[in-house]
Amino acid sequence: MIEVKGVSKSFGSNQVLKDISFDVKEGEVVVLVGPSGSGKSTLLRCINFLEEFQAGEILVDGAAVGYSGGTSGPSRRRQSEADVANLRTKAGMVFQNYNLFPHKTAIENVMMGPVLVNKDSKADARAHGLELLAKVGLKDRADHFPSQLSGGQQQRVAIARALAMRPKVMLFDEVTSALDPELVDEVLKTLRDLSNEGMTMIIVTHEMQFARDVADRLLFFYQGVIIEDGPPAEVFANPKTERFQTFVKRFQ
Ligand code: ADP
Ligand code: MG
C-alpha cells in the first residue's frame, strides 16, 4: 500500500532523511518512534506530498507521490498540481494540533473536504460525516464548535475529518502529544478501532505501550535513518542497537 524507496531529503545542508526504504502492506499498522528531530514528521509529510524530496520514490496504492520519471536524474519531474491533489486524497493525515476550523461545527469540519474537494452533495457528505462522528464516539457532538469540545474530542473530530475523504492510508503524527494525560486513551482507542477495521496506518507516537500493543511493525528512526525494524515484541526483546535501548528507557 505504501512503498518508500531510497528517499533522501535535505533542508539546505541539513540532510534529514538518508536513503530511507520500507513498505507498508495493506491493513498493516506501522509505528514510527524516535527522538525529536530524527525526521519522523518530515517522512510523513513527504508521503503526503506536503514536502518535496530530492531523491527516491514514494508510491501510495501504486501511484507515485509527487514525481515521475525515475528516482533521480534529469527525467525526474514534479507532477502537476492536479495529480498531486488527487494523490493527496489517498492518504489522510492528522497532526498534533488538530487544526479544526474554529468557526465551523464538528460536522461542518468533517463535511468540508468531501463537499469542496470531491464535490459530494451536502446531504451525502453530512450522512457520511455523521457515521464517522459516530465511529469516533462523537455522534452527540456533531453540532458543537471546537471550543465546546475537549482536546481529545477535537482530535477525534480531526480523525473523522481525515476519514471523510475515504483515504487508502492514514498517517498520524503525534496525535496525542498535545493532550492532557487523561484524554490520551480515548484517542488511542480510536486508532485501535481503525486498526481492527483493517485501516493501513503509519503512526508516529511516543506511547510505547500502545506501540507494543497495536503495531504490526515498529520502526525506530535515528538521525534520518531507520535503525530498528521489526515486530514490536522482537524489537523490544532483542534490540539491535544501544540507541533504541537508551531511547525506550526514558519511557519506562
Ligand atoms: P521529528 O518529527 O522526528 O521530530 P522533523 O521531521 O520534524 O523531526 O525534523 C527533522 C529535522 O528537519 C530537524 O532537524 C528539523 O529542524 C528539520 N526541519 C524540519 N522541517 C524543516 C523546515 N521546514 N525547514 C528547515 N528545517 C526543517
Ligand atoms: Mg515530529
Tell whether ipTM is more than 0.90: yes
CB of residue 252 inside a 6 A radius of ligand 1: no
CB of residue 42 inside a 6 A radius of ligand 1: yes
Q: How far is CA 184 from the centre of its chain?
A: 17
For each of the chain's 252 residues, which pLDDT tens digit applies? Answer: 999 999 999 999 999 999 999 999 999 999 999 999 999 999 999 998 888 898 998 989 887 776 655 566 666 666 666 667 777 788 999 998 878 999 999 999 999 999 998 899 999 999 999 999 999 999 999 999 999 999 999 999 999 999 999 999 999 999 999 898 989 999 999 999 999 999 999 999 999 999 999 999 999 999 999 999 999 999 999 999 999 999 988 876
CB of residue 37 inside a 6 A radius of ligand 1: yes
Question: Ligand 1: which atom is nearest the Cα of residue 36?
Answer: 4
Of 209, 224, 199, 205, give the one whose Cα is nearest residue 24.
199
| Nearest CA, atom 20, ligand 1 | 42
Give distance in angstroms: CA of 124 to centre of ligand 2.
35
Q: H/E element holding 171?
A: strand 169-173
Ligand nearest to the CA of 33: 1
Of 10, 25, 62, give the one whose Cα is nearest residue 217.
25
Q: H/E element holding 64?
A: strand 63-64
